[in-house]
Amino acid sequence: MATVLVNGQEVEIGASERLNCIQAAAKVGVEIPAYCWHPELSVVASCRMCLVEVGDKKPDGTVAMQPKLVPGCQTPAKDGTVIISDSPKVKEARKATLEYLLLNHPLDCPTCDQAGECYLQDYSFNYGRGYSRLNEPKNIKPDKTNIGDQITLFTDRCIMCTRCVRFTREISGSAELQVVSRGSHEEIDIFPGFPVNNPLAGNVVDLCPVGALCSKDFLYQQRVWWLKSASSVCPGCSTGCSITVDQNEERVYRLHPRPNEKAQGHFMCDAGRFGWKYTHSDQRLMSPETRTNGHVTPTDFDTVLNSVRAALIKAAQGGKGKIAAVLSPWMTVEEAYLLSSFLKGLATDVTLAIGPVRIEGHDDQFPKDIKGNVVAPVKFTIRAEKCPNRAGVEAVVTHFTGEVMPFEELLRLASGSQFKAVYLVGGDPEGWMTDIQAEAFSKVETVIVQDILPSPVLKHATHVLPSGTFVEREGVFVNHNGLAQLIHRSVRGPDGTRPDGRLLWDLAQRPGLIQTEALRKEIAGAIPALAAIASPELKGQGVLLEAAVAATV
């Protein structure tokens, strides 16, 4: 246990913690401004924004301060370290550094995407001076729009913190970005013909503390202060990156990673970052339907749900093992539980399968060297399993039926006219069923399809239930590691769709509106493997399901 003094306040640092002065000060809420320092990247101490006074408290109580200001990012906080970040000397140094940084900055905040979440703005407001004393023309540097397919560089806004350069060298390993020229003429640039198009490229936009690197996708779409944020989980793969969804007026504008050491760290991949577009696709299923012999009847949810319920009850009474359901690995734990418990209530011998778990290639690990070989230690992994909640849904299904029937097995049984009614849940935006697989359901009497986008199985469907995407729902995803995290509704789905939870709640004829929190308590009580999801910790960085870890390993 070490004690550090930050502006007179005592901070306790654990024995295993290796913190620098910035991190130690943050523990008691003291902000030491910094541009170049980032917890996941190497320390370069070049922006000189985090200069603080540092000293040592001797055992006899005297304090010996170092005469110079030192960069907080580079100075380890050890037992007895004294950090002073609010002295006039420190304030003067910050003011000077900020003035330097703004000398050649174009101050084009009104047209800059970063305005509102810009560290130059924030720190200038907090620590800077109100005017510039530069009387000479500013350096003018050309914009570089060709720097990557998804990113663009406003060179003159850059403050040369080199976070982006270090990211491409240390995390993605692709090293596309570099510093060219010298002194005040230096710029971030790529080698001609080698743009930043690695699978993690979008992170450099988040890393950029100013508006230099911008996302082409988000550029000029919204002012950031219009955006409302909700914490969520990326459904793109089983890594389950913690993310923030930014939306305005029921429209998603961007996703960005939310730091979570338990999940992915600080970053996310581009596939996930730009993988929300289907939410606003005009292909979405937008009307509940009943279909008989290819004849489509648009209807409303109450009618269709009653019809679904009646069909399922009829099938259940029609003999043993006549009902089956395919649960999607894109469902939340709550939705899987609602559907499973409802069907189990109708027929104890219900067959539950998990829809195809899409596996694409192999786990993609970073950093990579120039030949594409992974370099240890691995800092980021894009997993081959392209769904967010296989582990969670499996835990629910295992609880109800003891085993999880493989999807292929269910297809075989369905094509053998085993079932009278099948409840299919989709949700995978990439398409989860082939035409041949869909044929298996041609002989089933009642085929209920709950999905977001059209799929081949629709042509055999008797009931169609348009459901919601991950930004329209609420619930728990369990990632590859057994980490349960919450997703939150950030936008309302289009008219004619219902979030899956609400749909299933109504189908099960539970009273009132869906109460996910109460439902989680119920699940935690019913399924020991998922007991942890009722814990209050779930709301922050998520909880690890010990049992789930054991089950998936």
Partner 1 sequence: MAKFEPVLFARINKPDSTSLTTYKADGGYARIKEFLSMAPGDVTNLVKDSGLRGRGGAGFPCGLKWTFLPKDHPGPIYLCINADESEPGTFNNRILMEKDPHQLIEGIIIACHAIRSRNAYLYLRYEYGRSYRVLDAAIKECYAAGLLGKNILGSGVNLDIVLHRGAGAYICGEETGLIESLEGKRAWPRIKPPFPAIEGLFRQPTIVNNVETLCCVTQILYRGGAWFKSIGVPPDPSNPRDPGSYGPKLYCISGHVNKPCCVELPLGATARELIEEHAGGVWKGRKAKAVVPGGISMGFLSDKELDTKLDFAGPGKVGCLGLGTAAVVVIDDQTSMVDVLFNCCRFMSHESCGQCTPCREGTAWMTKILTRIRIGQGRIEDLDLLMEVAGSMGIMPGTTICGLSDGAAWPVKNAISKFRGDFEEYIISKRATETSAQKLMEVH
Residue among 53 and 474 whose Cβ is closer to partner 1? 53
Helix (H, G, I), strand (E, B) or coil at 149: coil
| 179 in contact with partner 1 (CB under 8 A) | yes
Beta-carbon contacts of 205 under 8 Å, excluding residues fewer than 6 positions away, are 151, 213, 214, 215
The interface region with partner 1, picked from 14-22, 95-103, 247-255, 320-328 by CB under 8 A, is 95-103
| 78 in contact with partner 1 (CB under 8 A) | no
Number of residues that bind partner 1 (CB under 8 A): 39
| 46 in contact with partner 1 (CB under 8 A) | yes
Please tell me the distance from the alpha carbon of residue 97 to that of residue 45, in angstroms, as a whole number.
Answer: 13
| Amino acid, single-letter form, for residue 4 | V
Please tell me the distance from the alpha carbon of residue 310 to that of residue 544, in angstroms, as a whole number.
Answer: 39
Task: Report in angstroms the alpha-carbon separations of 15 from 19, 99, 231, 285, 438.
Answer: 10, 39, 32, 55, 58
The interface region with partner 1, picked from 5-13, 127-135, 192-200, 358-366 by CB under 8 A, is 127-135
Cα radius of gyration (the chain): 27
Binding string, residues 104-123; x marks residues near partner 1 by CB under 8 A: x-------------------
Tokens of 314: 């009829």
Residue among 45 and 410 whose Cβ is closer to partner 1? 45
Residue among 34 and 252 whose Cβ is closer to partner 1? 34
The torsion angles phi and psi of 165, rounded to 5 degrees, stand at -65, -45
| Binder of partner 1 out of 26, 70, 219, 547 (CB under 8 A) | 70
| 186 in contact with partner 1 (CB under 8 A) | yes
The interface region with partner 1, picked from 18-26, 181-189, 198-206, 526-534 by CB under 8 A, is 181-189
Comparing C-alpha atoms, which of 441, 234, 469 is closest to residue 328?
469
| 139 in contact with partner 1 (CB under 8 A) | yes
| 376 in contact with partner 1 (CB under 8 A) | no
The interface region with partner 1, picked from 37-45, 433-441, 489-497, 541-549 by CB under 8 A, is 37-45
Residue among 3 and 178 whose Cβ is closer to partner 1? 178
Residue among 171 and 175 whose Cβ is closer to partner 1? 175
| 55 in contact with partner 1 (CB under 8 A) | no
Task: Report in angstroms the alpha-carbon separations of 319 from 312, 314, 409.
Answer: 12, 9, 20
Please tell me the distance from the alpha carbon of residue 395 to that of residue 526, in angstroms, as a whole number.
Answer: 11
Chain residues 532-551 in contact with partner 1, contact rule CB under 8 A: none
Helix (H, G, I), strand (E, B) or coil at 414: helix
| 372 in contact with partner 1 (CB under 8 A) | no
Residue among 156 and 186 whose Cβ is closer to partner 1? 186
End-to-end CA distance of the chain: 35
Please tell me the distance from the alpha carbon of residue 267 to that of residue 203, in angstroms, as a whole number.
Answer: 6
| Amino acid, single-letter form, for residue 416 | G
Q: Which parts of this chain interact with partner 1 (CB under 8 A)?
A: 43-49, 51, 67-71, 74, 89, 92-93, 96-97, 100-101, 103-104, 133-137, 139, 159-160, 178-179, 181-186
